[in-house]
Amino acid sequence: MRILVTGGAGYIGSVVTEELLNDGHEAVVLDSLYKGHRSAVDPRARFVQADLTDSETLREVLKQNHIDAVIHMAADSLVGESVDQPAKYYRNNLAAGLNLLDAMRDCGVGKFVFSSTAATYGEPEKQPITETDPTDPTNPYGETKLAFERVLHWYEGAYGLRYASLRYFNAAGATERCGEWHDPETHLIPLVLQVAAGRRIDVAVYGNDYPTADGTCIRDYIHVVDLARAHILALGILDERSAIYNLGCGGEGYSVQAVIDTAREVTGRDIATTVAPRRAGDPSVLIASSEKIRNELGWQPEFQDLPVIIQSAWRWLMAHPRGYE
Ligand SMILES: NC(=O)c1ccc[n+]([C@@H]2O[C@H](COP(=O)([O-])OP(=O)(O)OC[C@H]3O[C@@H](n4cnc5c(N)ncnc54)[C@H](O)[C@@H]3O)[C@@H](O)[C@H]2O)c1
């Protein structure tokens, strides 16, 4: 298939592009580079530097490249920033996304894979979280992603759009070429590894008095390659139906402390920590049920062990000590 990947110069998008190409698809990456990195884009992909608000370019790209499906990953995704600047999130994650959907409708492109998030659930009532559990986001980031999912539902009814919305839990890890390099960085694994590499002094542990075995929050980590492969599987259902899937590895998850201890073992380096107060709206445990995608699409994570995930991220950081700079 010929796939347009929006946000394909970002962390997950660059790996999705790589995996699409490895699988024999053609990929066009559209990214404004306002956050992403040109050198993260696989050289086999066509690259278009443009913003989602540029309707004319969107239409041109869709038509000229005879695009069959769009994987939409371009978004803002900092929870704290979304609370301070909700307008930015409604504009980019919702309004700019609508622009893309309208361009697709006008050009007759009817298949769509969407990067949604566990943040659509808010503070879950039970674990592991299934796709039918209540959605009640606690921040504008999750709210805009959920609103966009609702848009997809109504566009399917009115315009025949077929979509797969993938609610990612915590993406982590790297390939040989592509790793996580955000500014600011807010994700635990890259932060911990930056301390190990001497780029940071310490890493904050937000709360060590949660009702978990070691007192720190438990999260579900998914290797970015396993995540990327799920997108390719999701493309396969769009001739017939739309669906929403959780994407995490399930199981018991890993605590913040376990991530730090594992990173110490993998890197052989000391990693200094400081305990900070809990962050508002941080649930103690967030674990996906991934039964639905396993059963319906045969998705099977290959790299679900934490040391393997951290090892891949560490290898990338050691090979790219200045990231994409
Ligand atoms: N990283 C995670 O663990 C995680 C978890 C849940 C959901 N997600 C979602 O996955 C997607 C990718 O996440 P990521 O961590 O790779 O983010 P990222 O910031 O690394 O990549 C996003 C890319 O989108 C581009 N972009 C943003 N707005 C744009 C616009 N208006 N026009 C064109 N390009 C634009 C940025 O330049 C960047 O390259 C996002 O939609 C995010 O909400 C990520």
pLDDT at 2: 98
pLDDT at 181: 96
CA-based torsion, 78, 84, 88, 91: positive or negative: positive
pLDDT at 215: 97
* 270 CA distance to ligand 1 middle (Å): 31
Residue 25's closest CA among 48, 49, 45?
Answer: 45
Helices (H), 271-305: 291-297
**Ligand 1 interacting residues, C-beta cut-off 6 A:** 7, 9-13, 31-36, 51-52, 73-75, 77, 92, 96, 115, 117, 168, 170-171, 182
* 184 CA distance to ligand 1 middle (Å): 13
User: Which atom belonging to ligand 1 lies closest to the Cα atom of 51?
Assistant: 32
Q: Select which of 141, 168, 221, 245 is catalytic.
A: 141
Contact in structure between 109 and 278 (CB atoms under 8 Å):
no
Residue nearest to atom 9 of ligand 1 (CA): 115
Q: Which residues is 255 bridged to in the sheet?
A: 218
Give mean pLDDT in consecutive 10-residue pieces for the chain, a chain of 325 residues.
98 98 98 97 98 98 98 96 96 98 98 98 94 96 98 98 98 98 95 97 96 96 98 97 96 96 98 94 92 98 97 98 91
pLDDT at 174: 98
pTM, entire model: 0.97
pLDDT at 325: 82
For the record, the structure tokens of 165 come out as 């919305």
Residue nearest to atom 29 of ligand 1 (CA): 74
Query: Any catalytic annotation for residue 141?
Result: yes
The residue whose CB lies within 8 Å of the most ligand 1 atoms, and thus the one to mutate among 77, 139, 144, 222, is 77
The residue whose CB lies within 8 Å of the most ligand 1 atoms, and thus the one to mutate among 4, 6, 12, 54, is 12
pLDDT at 280: 82
134, 233, 312, 316: CA torsion to nearest 10: -110
